[in-house]
Amino acid sequence: MGAADGERLGLPVPGWRPPPAPGPMVLEGRLIRLEPLSVRHTGDLHEATRHDDSLWDYMGHGPFASAEGMRDWVRQVEAGPDPLFFALCDPASGRAQGVASYLRIAPGAGSIEVGWITFGSALQRSPAATEAMFLMMGWAFGAGYRRYEWKCNALNLPSRRAAERLGLSYEGTFRQALVVKGRNRDTAWFAAIDKEWPLLEAAFRRWLDPGNFDAGGRQRIRLSDLTRPVLVTRDPMLAK
């Protein structure tokens, strides 16, 4: 196939083999441990999230008035292969502080999404939360996925900022994509691809290095400054 054919039909992907689908596993970091979500995490998760109902504003589930209500939801999702849920746990105490999942898992396309991300107060804006996202992205690209997606309600500016900070490029907005809790949802799409991962991995490792934080825990270099050069497109909503 010549260059003209590549332009007309798309570039070849030599040696392409679909990666494995993720299964129940543990992803261990220095600051966070991701383990398969189960009902045993429910008490910790409810305690971590019960003080802020706004966590559920853009979710299809929640808020949960009681641990029992959250337990019913966990029972529905804990054994599912897609979404595949993780509890985000503090390595020292073992207590679950949030959840995240892989979803829209498409090995044949080499595509996988991260979503259902819910951080309790102890995780919010913390290095541990960033490390959780790093571990999930690292597993996906390490397993051979070509594309790592992040989607969110287009009105959810904190999620849009988080995607860009993590080095995922804005790809557009799907209008009237869903109806969630009786309300319209336009969905903003972000993604990183495999050829961008080496630079993103280096950015994450540099930011997560203990030397990047002073004695008060304040970052010396912002992750967004390290990942910005990787972005192919910026989110226009964040420029407003």
How far is 240 from 228, CA to CA, in rounded Å?
A: 17
User: What distance lies between CA 109 and its chain's CA centroid?
Assistant: 19
How far is 169 from 91, CA to CA, in rounded Å?
A: 31
How far lies 149's CA from each of 102, 190, 194, in Å? 10, 6, 11
Bond before 236 cis per omega within 30 degrees: no
pLDDT, tens digit only, all 240 positions of the chain: 556 666 788 999 999 999 999 999 999 999 999 999 999 999 999 999 999 999 999 999 999 999 999 999 999 999 889 999 999 999 999 999 999 999 999 999 999 999 999 999 999 999 999 999 999 999 999 999 999 999 999 999 999 999 999 999 999 999 999 999 999 999 999 999 999 999 999 999 999 999 999 999 999 999 999 999 999 999 998 976
pTM confidence score: 0.94
Domains of the chain, with CATH numbers? 23-239 (3.40.630.30)
Closest to 32 in 3D by CA, of 134, 116, 117: 134
The DSSP bridge partners found for residue 35 are 87
Check residue 188 and give its pLDDT: 98
Cα 2–Cα 5–Cα 9 angle in degrees, nearest 5? 145
- Which residue type does 76 have? Q
> What dihedral do alpha carbons 164, 124, 143, 145 form, nearest 10°?
-30
Alpha-helical segments (H) within 58-186: 67-77, 127-143, 157-165
Alpha-helical segments (H) within 155-195: 157-165
191, 168 contact by CB (below 8 A): yes
Check residue 3 and give its pLDDT: 62
Check residue 6 and give its pLDDT: 63
Closest to 125 in 3D by CA, of 147, 150, 145, 98: 98
107, 84 contact by CB (below 8 A): no
How far is 59 from 41, CA to CA, in rounded Å?
A: 19
Instruction: Indicate the pairing of strand 96-106 with strand 111-119.
Output: antiparallel
Check residue 109 and give its pLDDT: 96
- Which residue type does 1 have? M
